[in-house]
């Protein structure tokens, strides 16, 4: 770990990607993630990588498909409307079992929406987004340091399962500056290219083909069963969750990403007012930490859950699956690009206590 540097989230993420072995980026400008391509347009050529400003998000994600096909550690970045455009390509990448990393600095929607922070893309991120039976590994950083560490390790994670990784941030984490320790630069010459990656040497029986077309139902079903098996493995191995003061909590607040840290402040304020609050912050959204909610819901202390989101209520559906009817689950959300303060969360909870 190096000396701490003060960096904007978007730039820190971009640098972490390069240090994690990223040597290919394609993207299209959209607020609030523009510092990612701007940074990489300068940084990637310095390390012998490729930066392309594509003509559209659609083209960009297909460039990622191409670069991943030949074994490059490929990254794209966008924000909500742009990620919608990328969904076709993401489905193909998932279907062709290609690894890559996708960043969504979520802004408010639907439609052209606004450019301020939001969490309205949760369903799109964890329940599919594109067509077909596939999943992404979805990571939700709450601080710049966590984002840096996640992005740095995301290429290894994606290659391990041959499943794309989606970093689900928001405008806040893209724009915020924090002191971070940057991990050391990976020596890409020592990162082995996957053996399935195309190199042009194929001929006859050793030909390599990247494809998601399986016209025979039985063959495609077999493929889908294989993918489902990989997703089960990911659920077994990769769930991450932060729990804060949940042991004696009567009210469990739950939130992800930047809202998770705002909720943490709310827990502290509530505790100072004598209300035993705790926090469950899913770090991975797929796989989702259902067990943390099952455990808390089974505790005699816990009276209720409060889900806090920058949306009209999306993650709450997974929270309810975890709680499984054992305790009430309330919802507090802001939308349109408005961000709640810790005090807003506190006021909501106190108003419900009375």
Binding site for other proteins (CB under 8 A): 4, 6, 23-24, 26, 31-32, 50, 52, 54-56, 58-60, 62-67, 69-72, 74, 88-89, 92, 96, 115-116, 143, 171-172, 175-179, 198-204, 207-213, 258, 261-262, 264-266, 268, 339-344
Q: Measuring CA to CA, which residue among 34, 136, 35, 152 is closest to residue 86?
A: 136
180 forms beta bridges with: 5
- The nearer residue to other proteins, 64 or 167, going by C-beta atoms, is 64
- Residue 23 beta carbon to other proteins: minimum distance, rounded to whole angstroms: 8
What DSSP element (H or E) covers 225? Answer: helix 217-237
Contact (Cβ atoms closer than 8 angstroms) between residue 165 and residue 136 = yes
- The nearer residue to other proteins, 267 or 319, going by C-beta atoms, is 267
Return the CA Rg of the chain: 21
- The nearer residue to other proteins, 323 or 345, going by C-beta atoms, is 345
- The nearer residue to other proteins, 239 or 269, going by C-beta atoms, is 269
Task: Classify each residue of 176-207 as buried b or exposed e, where b means 16 or more C-beta atoms within 10 Å of its C-beta.
Answer: bebebebbeebebeebeeeeebeeeeeeeeee
- Residue 234 beta carbon to other proteins: minimum distance, rounded to whole angstroms: 25
DSSP at 117: B
Count other Cβ atoms within 10 Å, centred on residue 23.
20
- Residue 321 beta carbon to other proteins: minimum distance, rounded to whole angstroms: 27
C-alpha of 278 from chain center: 23
- The nearer residue to other proteins, 266 or 323, going by C-beta atoms, is 266
- Residue 246 beta carbon to other proteins: minimum distance, rounded to whole angstroms: 16
- The nearer residue to other proteins, 294 or 347, going by C-beta atoms, is 347
- The nearer residue to other proteins, 253 or 302, going by C-beta atoms, is 253
Residues recorded for the chain: 354
Contact (Cβ atoms closer than 8 angstroms) between residue 9 and residue 175 = yes
- Residue 222 beta carbon to other proteins: minimum distance, rounded to whole angstroms: 18
C-alpha of 262 from chain center: 18
- Residue 163 beta carbon to other proteins: minimum distance, rounded to whole angstroms: 18
137 forms beta bridges with: 165
- Residue 86 beta carbon to other proteins: minimum distance, rounded to whole angstroms: 11
């Amino acid at each position: 770990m190096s000396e701490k540097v003060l960096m904007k989230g978007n730039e820190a993420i971009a640098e972490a990607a390069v240090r994690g072995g990223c040597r290919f980026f394609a993207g299209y400008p959209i607020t609030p993630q523009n510092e990612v391509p701007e940074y990489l347009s300068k940084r990637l050529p310095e390390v012998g990588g490729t930066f392309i400003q594509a003509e559209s998000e659609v083209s960009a994600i297909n460039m990622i498909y191409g670069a991943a096909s030949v074994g490059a550690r490929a990254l794209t970045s966008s924000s909500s409307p742009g990620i919608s455009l990328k969904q076709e390509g993401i489905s193909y990448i998932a279907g062709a079992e290609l690894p890559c990393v996708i960043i969504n600095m979520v802004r408010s929607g639907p439609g052209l929406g606004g450019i301020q922070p939001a969490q309205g893309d949760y369903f799109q991120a964890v329940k599919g987004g594109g067509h077909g039976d596939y999943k992404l590994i979805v990571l939700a950083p709450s601080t710049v340091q966590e984002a840096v560490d996640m992005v740095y390790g995301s290429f290894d994670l994606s290659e391990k399962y041959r499943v794309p990784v989606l970093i689900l941030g928001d405008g806040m984490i893209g724009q915020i500056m924090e002191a971070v320790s940057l991990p050391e630069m990976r020596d890409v010459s020592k990162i082995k290219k996957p053996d399935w990656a195309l190199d042009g040497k194929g001929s006859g029986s050793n030909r390599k083909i990247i494809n998601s077309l399986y016209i025979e139902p039985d063959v495609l079903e077999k493929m889908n069963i294989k993918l489902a098996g990989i997703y089960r493995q990911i659920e077994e191995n990769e769930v991450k969750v932060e729990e804060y003061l949940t042991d004696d909590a009567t009210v469990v607040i739950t939130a992800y990403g930047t809202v998770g840290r705002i909720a943490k402040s709310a827990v502290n304020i509530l505790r100072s007012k004598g209300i035993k609050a705790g926090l469950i912050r899913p770090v991975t959204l797929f796989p989702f930490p259902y067990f943390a909610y099952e455990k808390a819901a089974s505790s005699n202390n816990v009276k209720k859950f409060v889900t806090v989101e920058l949306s009209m209520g999306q993650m709450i559906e997974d929270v309810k699956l975890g709680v499984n009817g054992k305790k009430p689950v309330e919802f507090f959300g802001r939308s349109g690009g408005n961000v709640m303060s810790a005090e807003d969360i506190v006021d909501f909870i106190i108003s419900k206590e009375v």
